[in-house]
Amino acid sequence: MTSAQKIPDIDALREAQARVAPHTHRTPIYTSTLLDRDCGASLMFKCENLQKVGAFKARGASNAVFSLSDEQAKNGVATHSSGNHGAALAMAAGKRGIAAHIVMPAGAPSVKKEAVAAYGANIIECAPTLIAREQALEELVGRTGAHVVHPYNDARVIAGQGTVALEILEQLDDLDMVVVPVGGGGLLAGVAVAVKSLKPGIEVVAIEPAGADDAFRSFGLGRLIPQNSPNTIADGLRAGLGELNFEIIQKHVDTILTVEDATIIEAMKLQWSRLKTVVEPSGAVSFAGVLEYPERFRGRRVALVISGGNLDLDNLPW
């Protein structure tokens, strides 16, 4: 998948919303008076950790799988994933009655591998590098003829992820900001298209782990910088930014900020204790941005996307 694909517009997002509605949850907004008081802002958390498969990825995968023609779908679907997209694609493929083949890095969290397997996917392990993942996927597709659904650099996936923002704008009024984690960029790109198409005055802010900051560097330099040796507890955000995603992000995103792993852990603890909900490190990154840059958000009405809640409860980062 390359940037030659057509960038999804608001109509594509609305079509995606109708397509995925039977297969996904309309997730709730959580709030906390104590967090608002401590942060000096009005914070509203979009709980995609309560989405099917425990992450927003169910949206993009469902949109991609259910928009395939019968001819495209006949040999199943394939992708590479550290976990959440793989589980989402396997779930969607199972609902459509087709095979799913998922290339996963050997170091992916066991809980995420177990989830992918539970949805009936065929798992192919590879070395924990993007090059190894892409090579293994290419070999797999050559062998099976499966249709590739890239985890983020895919217009259908981006449109599906953008339905998160369509729901936010239906659920909340008078927002100043929407804050989104960024790894490969599919969620950020989809959210940015939705927000800037419908409410261009709302600021779109992305948060990225400092140990995997290719989006931050790319955004600042105005050209796509490769992701090299990412080192962060936010395993879902270690992917390199996609070309198509970067094109959208350059046009529609206002700011990208980076946060340290220590702040991500602090954000996780506060969300677990104050919101009473399980948040994975990648899902806590949006709120970590508020904790690390409080002056940036003070006095504002802020929607924050909790992107997922899948993690190994026997191996917590504290």
The residues carrying an active-site annotation are 57, 307
Tell me the two tokens of residue 93.
């493929």
Tell me the two tokens of residue 35.
């967090």
Phi-psi region of 78 (alpha: psi -120 to 50; beta: other; left: phi over 0): beta
CB-based burial label for 4 (10 Å; 0-12, 13-18, 19+)? exposed
Strands 122-126 and 147-148 come out as: unpaired
Q: Specify the amino acid at residue 295.
A: E
Let me know: does 159 contact 16? Beta carbons within 8 Å.
yes
How many Å is the Cα radius of gyration of the chain?
Answer: 18
Q: Can you say how many angstroms the Cα of residue 309 is from the centroid of all Cα atoms in its chain?
A: 12
Cα-Cα end-to-end distance for the chain = 38
Cα–Cα distance for residue pair 270/190, rounded to 1 Å: 27
Let me know: does 111 contact 87? Beta carbons within 8 Å.
no
Let me know: does 313 contact 186? Beta carbons within 8 Å.
no
Phi-psi region of 53 (alpha: psi -120 to 50; beta: other; left: phi over 0): left
Maximum separation of any 2 CA atoms in the chain, in Å: 56
Which DSSP string do the residues of 159-184 spell out, in sequence order? Answer: HHHHHHHHHHHHH--S-SEEEEE-SS
Cα distances (angstroms) measured from residue 221 to each of 14, 214, 251: 32, 10, 14
Phi-psi region of 32 (alpha: psi -120 to 50; beta: other; left: phi over 0): beta
